[in-house]
Amino acid sequence: MKNEKNNIFIFNFSFFVFAHKINIFSYKEGQKIFVEGYFSDGKPCKNSEIIVFDEKNNKIIEGKTDEQGFFSFNIPETSKIKIVLISDIGHKVESEMKLQEKLIERKTIRENERIEEKQIQQNIDEEKIREIIEKEINKILKEIEKERQRVKIHEIISAFGYILGIFGIILYLRNQNKK
């Protein structure tokens, strides 16, 4: 009977821990980096701490997510960042992002783009279209990532079935030993 209680406790505890797993999704858009923190059930990580480190592991940015679990900041002068999210209940998750160009290279690219824009007189604002496409792609990627990390009910039922099966084997072996 004691083992039954232990098994039930372990199952309930593991479900609770897994249900409160946090996820992080980050992406670049324009000159900013956007971060979204959410639990495995899709709820946002509100007022959670965000810490950003550079490639040398120096802390460069700190902040908190808003009520929707979002945080954003300007792209820093570094080639790689590590984003750490610590939820208000103490769970922690990390994500790394490579920044393809440093600030000097970005300035050069922006200057070249301005020259090209002046030379090419088009009716369609290509930069605006690029931003819209980038934004929509990021939305789709975010939804795919959320769905991939969401706990599926059949996984929970399967885990419970495995636990019951193992428990049944233990009871069977106990009864065989008593005989």
Predicted TM-score of the model (pTM): 0.53
Q: What is the pLDDT of residue 176?
A: 85
Calculate the dihedral angle through the C-alpha atoms of 39, 4, 157, 44, rounding to the nearest 10 degrees.
Answer: -10
Q: What is the pLDDT of residue 1?
A: 47
| Residue 65, pLDDT score | 94
DSSP for 8-70 reads HHHHHHHHHHHHT-EEEEEEEETTEEEEEEEETTS-B-TT-EEEEE-TT--EEEEEE--TTSE
In contact, 83 and 52? CB cutoff 8 Å: yes
Mean pLDDT by 10 residues, the chain (179 residues): 49 48 87 89 90 93 93 89 88 86 57 64 67 86 78 75 88 83
Q: What pLDDT is stored for residue 128 in this prediction?
A: 77
Q: Does domain 22-149 have CATH number 3.40.50.300?
A: no
Confidence (pLDDT) at 107:
61
